[in-house]
Amino acid sequence: MLDYIYPLIRAGLFRLDPEVAHHLSLSALRLGERAGLLKLAFSGAGLDEPVEVLGLRFSNRIGLAAGMDKDGDTIDGLGRLGFGSIEIGTFTPRAQAGNPKPRLFRLIEQEAIINRMGFNNGGIAAGVANARRARTFRGVLGFNIGKNKDTPNEEAAADYLECLRQAYPMADYIAVNLSSPNTPGLRDLQGPETCARLLETLQREQTRLAGEHGKRVPLLFKVAPDLDDGHIRDLSAVFLAGGLDGLIATNTTLDRDLVASHPHAAEAGGLSGRPEFAKSTAVLQAFASHLGGRIPIIGVGGISSLEDAQAKLRAGASLVQVYTAFIYQGPRLIRQLARGLA
Ligand SMILES: Cc1cc2nc3c(=O)[nH]c(=O)nc-3n(C[C@H](O)[C@H](O)[C@H](O)COP(=O)(O)O)c2cc1C
């Protein structure tokens, strides 16, 4: 039912400021879940095609990418739509407001978004508390972690460690975000030596936490699509040498080539959605060829159809995530992808 009226809902939402529309949609999902309406509307039948990746069982290969449920307060509502996994965050140790508004822009004809949100979130402790309140979601829950804007890069490891410790007991996996373009200097952490040090530091804590909590939570690094071949080769070597558990490729792009004529093209921030697909998939493929199947990859960036999702899998991904196309196409897309891949 919701599938058929989504074009109408979208028309209403798209008359609103994008960020207002975002909050309204999440509130509606929370309300719909609490009132039992989502359960009636979405049966979940035919969506399951269990697959084991990262030592975890995913009910299907479709995940919600980070940044939609930044505070982890809509897990159950989003979960009803059929996602096999949901990645909440990015969380920072302390709550922060993010960049000044406006910071979210629709490029409607291109089915794209430019955002420079800047890790607006209520802090990792609030995120963990929210996740504890989730009741009905049975899928895999990832925590995406970052650093506060005012933390210098030399102290970034401490921020990631703090988030790792707090998220660990609740998380099925932890995604280390090195690739948001909206926190100054964050992408510098993708320098191979810096990255190797950070991986080693986080793994040491992961081992300690595994003992303390009696479970091993896999660590994934999330990378940018704006990396050249040499950089991808060097990073792959770091990941293989360090024994990284998994990779998420990719975050948003700084590239504007494919949307150059759009009035919003000059807005600072990361571009996502359809125009990002080719570049993001090429980077995924390059990582996959260097990693040779030894580190599982979650493919994300510009998926807007079943063919796109299949192309990510062919390029070397074991799982996929979506964000932007879900805004444009609604919940129907999730079930189309899940059924199509099953
Ligand atoms: C509004 C918005 C906010 C985002 N926030 C985050 C974030 O906080 N952390 C993160 O790792 N990725 C974030 N992303 C990136 C997405 O997780 C994803 O990597 C990217 O949008 C590419 O996928 P897509 O083309 O399906 O949207 C955000 C994307 C958008 C559009």
Average pLDDT over residues 42-57: 91
Give the tens place of pLDDT for each residue, 289-337.
999 999 999 999 999 999 999 999 999 999 999 999 999 999 999 999 9
pLDDT, position 45 = 79
Give the tens place of pLDDT for each residue, 138-187.
999 999 999 999 999 999 999 999 999 999 999 999 999 999 999 999 99
Confidence of residue 266 (pLDDT cuts 50, 70, 90): very high
Residue 272 Cβ < 6 Å to ligand 1: yes
Residue 309 Cβ < 6 Å to ligand 1: no
Contact 244, 222 (CB under 8 A): no
pLDDT, position 67 = 98
**From 70, 90, 147, 251, mutation site for ligand 1 pocket: most ligand atoms within 8 A of C-beta:** 251
180 is catalytic: yes
Strands (E), the chain: 51-53, 56-58, 62-64, 85-91, 104-107, 112-115, 140-145, 173-177, 219-223, 246-249, 270-273, 297-300, 319-322
pLDDT, position 248 = 98
* Residue (of 160, 155, 143, 157) closest to 85 by Cα position: 143
pLDDT, position 261 = 93
Average pLDDT over residues 82-95: 98
The answer on pLDDT for 1 being more than 80 is: no
How do beta strands 62-64 and 85-91 pair?
parallel
The answer on pLDDT for 102 being more than 90 is: yes
For residue 341, the number of C-alpha atoms closer than 13 Å in the C-beta half-sphere is 32
The answer on pLDDT for 193 being more than 90 is: yes
Average pLDDT over residues 192-216: 98
* Residue (of 180, 196, 181) closest to 234 by Cα position: 196
pLDDT, position 324 = 98
User: What is the fold of 2-341?
Assistant: TIM Barrel (3.20.20)
The answer on pLDDT for 258 being more than 90 is: no
Residue for token pair 């059924």:
339
Atom in ligand 1 nearest the alpha carbon of residue 65: 17
- Average pLDDT of the chain is 97
DSSP 8-state assignment for residue 100: P
> Would you kindly state where each structural domain of the chain is located, as residue ranges?
2-341
pLDDT, position 135 = 97
Residue 273 Cβ < 6 Å to ligand 1: yes
What share of the chain in percent tops pLDDT 70?
100
Question: From the candidates 59, 85, 179, 180, which is the catalytic residue?
Answer: 180
pLDDT, position 318 = 98
Which residues make Cβ contacts (< 8 Å) with residue 55, sequence separation at least 6?
Answer: 216, 218
Per-position b or e across 10-39, b if 16+ CB within 10 A of its CB: beebeeeebeebbeebbebbbebbeeebbe
Confidence of residue 47 (pLDDT cuts 50, 70, 90): confident
Atom in ligand 1 nearest the alpha carbon of residue 280: 22
pLDDT, position 311 = 98
Three-state DSSP at 174 gives strand
Give the tens place of pLDDT for each residue, 118-139.
999 999 999 999 999 999 999 9
Confidence of residue 3 (pLDDT cuts 50, 70, 90): confident
Average pLDDT over residues 85-106: 98
Three-state DSSP at 176 gives strand
pLDDT, position 43 = 82
